[in-house]
């Protein structure tokens, strides 16, 4: 497990990384600690094996989950991160309904009081995707579309992709309709979540800001990409994380979410070298376990 502390005293551009091993805490002291620490933002990239599941808790106790990973392993992570007597999650975002992103969310929807679900609404052929579709049709969801901003007191989440509606549609590759979102806390710290988007989608997202500015619209900052932390696209596959994307995102830290010794060879050496060339600190769930940012 790796904890990264982003020091607010160091200013926006400077990020201080501190590595520490968390001491095992029993459930009661953990919950006590939880309430004492209500001044901090916590962003946890759960080690769920080959898949994505990212948990955000804000100082005002907003709980957000982006993807749920494969199987039920996300429940263990939520059990560690949430007080045992509290079972509400304010927002669940699904990037796309592939098993390694959606399976755990089905369990989460079953066991937690999830107030809002945001996803593209795209249809998938696998049984797990169909179960997801049925579930959200019954309970209702909000369709993610580029240009949306979800705002609370201390933070906002911008939706950067997709621009078109895919609700109820089938597509040749679900990765291509991954919801891309950017979480910004106190206008100071930003995290970019890319699901399994390819370089093609990265290119499209880059074009939105340009188009918006050409049209002289007032709200183009909703398409900003520059971020302190980048969740590397598609588990570090070489089909994502292009140089032109890195040029604009300009991350300090990149988080690769991949399973230990996975059969896809993720993350790809080319992507790791690219990140190194850009002098980006690389964190990996396959090596480091949960990657935790405390602010
Ligand atoms: Zn995936």
- Per-residue pLDDT at 10 exceeds 90: no
CA of 249 to the centre of ligand 1 (A): 21
CA of 10 to the centre of ligand 1 (A): 34
- Per-residue pLDDT at 207 exceeds 80: yes
- Per-residue pLDDT at 16 exceeds 50: no
CA of 154 to the centre of ligand 1 (A): 30
- Per-residue pLDDT at 11 exceeds 70: no
Percent of all residues in the chain with a pLDDT value above 90, rounded to a whole number: 81
Note whether 94 and 105 are within 8 A (CB).
yes
CA of 225 to the centre of ligand 1 (A): 21
Mean pLDDT of 188-206: 97
CA of 57 to the centre of ligand 1 (A): 23
CA of 103 to the centre of ligand 1 (A): 11
Instruction: Tell me what pLDDT residue 24 has.
Output: 46
CA of 265 to the centre of ligand 1 (A): 13
What digits encode the pLDDT tens for the residues 70-93? Answer: 999 999 999 999 998 999 999 999
CA atoms within 13 A on the CB side of 295: 26
CA of 178 to the centre of ligand 1 (A): 10
What is the spatial distance between Cα 115 and Cα 106, in angstroms, rounded to a whole number?
14
Note whether 156 and 190 are within 8 A (CB).
no
Q: Grade residue 21 by pLDDT with cuts at 50, 70 and 90.
A: very low
Instruction: Tell me what pLDDT residue 26 has.
Output: 56
Rounded mean pLDDT of the chain? 90
Burial degree of 269 (CB within 10 A; 0-12, 13-18, 19+) = exposed
- Per-residue pLDDT at 25 exceeds 50: no
- 92 to 119, 137, 142: CA distances (angstroms): 8, 15, 10
CA of 98 to the centre of ligand 1 (A): 7
Instruction: Tell me what pLDDT residue 213 has.
Output: 87
Instruction: Tell me what pLDDT residue 94 has.
Output: 98
What digits encode the pLDDT tens for the residues 135-184? Answer: 999 999 999 999 999 999 899 999 999 999 999 999 999 999 999 999 99
CA of 259 to the centre of ligand 1 (A): 11
CA of 286 to the centre of ligand 1 (A): 14
What is the spatial distance between Cα 250 and Cα 244, in angstroms, rounded to a whole number?
10
Instruction: Tell me what pLDDT residue 218 has.
Output: 81
Instruction: Tell me what pLDDT residue 23 has.
Output: 45
- Per-residue pLDDT at 15 exceeds 80: no
CA of 185 to the centre of ligand 1 (A): 26
pTM: 0.88
What digits encode the pLDDT tens for the residues 32-69? Answer: 555 545 679 999 999 999 999 999 999 999 999 999 99
282 vs 211, which has greater pLDDT?
A: 282
Domain residues of the chain, as ranges? 22-294
- Identify the architecture of domain 22-294 in CATH: 4-Layer Sandwich (3.60)
């Amino acid at each position: 497990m790796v904890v990264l502390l982003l020091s607010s005293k160091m200013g926006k551009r400077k990020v201080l990384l501190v590595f520490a091993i968390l001491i095992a805490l029993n459930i009661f002291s953990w919950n006590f600690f939880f309430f004492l620490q209500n001044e901090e933002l916590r962003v946890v990239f759960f080690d769920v094996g080959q898949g994505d599941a990212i948990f955000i808790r804000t100082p005002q106790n907003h709980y957000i989950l982006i993807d749920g990973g494969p199987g039920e392993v996300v429940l263990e992570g939520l059990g560690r991160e949430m007080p045992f007597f509290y079972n509400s999650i304010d927002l669940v975002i699904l990037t796309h309904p592939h098993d390694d992103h959606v399976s755990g969310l089905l369990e989460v929807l079953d066991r937690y009081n999830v107030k809002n679900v945001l996803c593209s609404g795209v249809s998938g052929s696998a049984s797990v995707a169909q179960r997801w579709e049925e579930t959200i049709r019954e309970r209702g969801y909000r369709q993610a579309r580029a240009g949306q901003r979800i705002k609370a007191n201390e933070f906002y989440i911008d939706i950067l992709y997709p621009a078109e509606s895919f609700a109820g549609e089938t597509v040749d590759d679900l990765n291509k309709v991954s919801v891309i979102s950017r979480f910004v806390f106190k206008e100071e710290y930003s995290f970019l979540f890319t699901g399994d988007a390819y370089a093609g989608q990265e290119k499209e997202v880059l074009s939105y800001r340009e188009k918006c500015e050409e049209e002289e619209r007032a709200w183009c900052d909703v398409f900003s990409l520059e971020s302190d932390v980048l969740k590397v696209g598609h588990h570090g596959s070489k089909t994502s994380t292009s140089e032109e994307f890195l040029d604009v995102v300009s991350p300090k830290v990149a988080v690769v979410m991949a399973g230990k010794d996975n059969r896809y060879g993720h993350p790809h050496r080319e992507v790791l070298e690219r990140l190194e060339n850009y002098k980006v600190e690389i964190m990996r769930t396959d090596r480091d376990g949960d990657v935790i940012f405390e602010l």
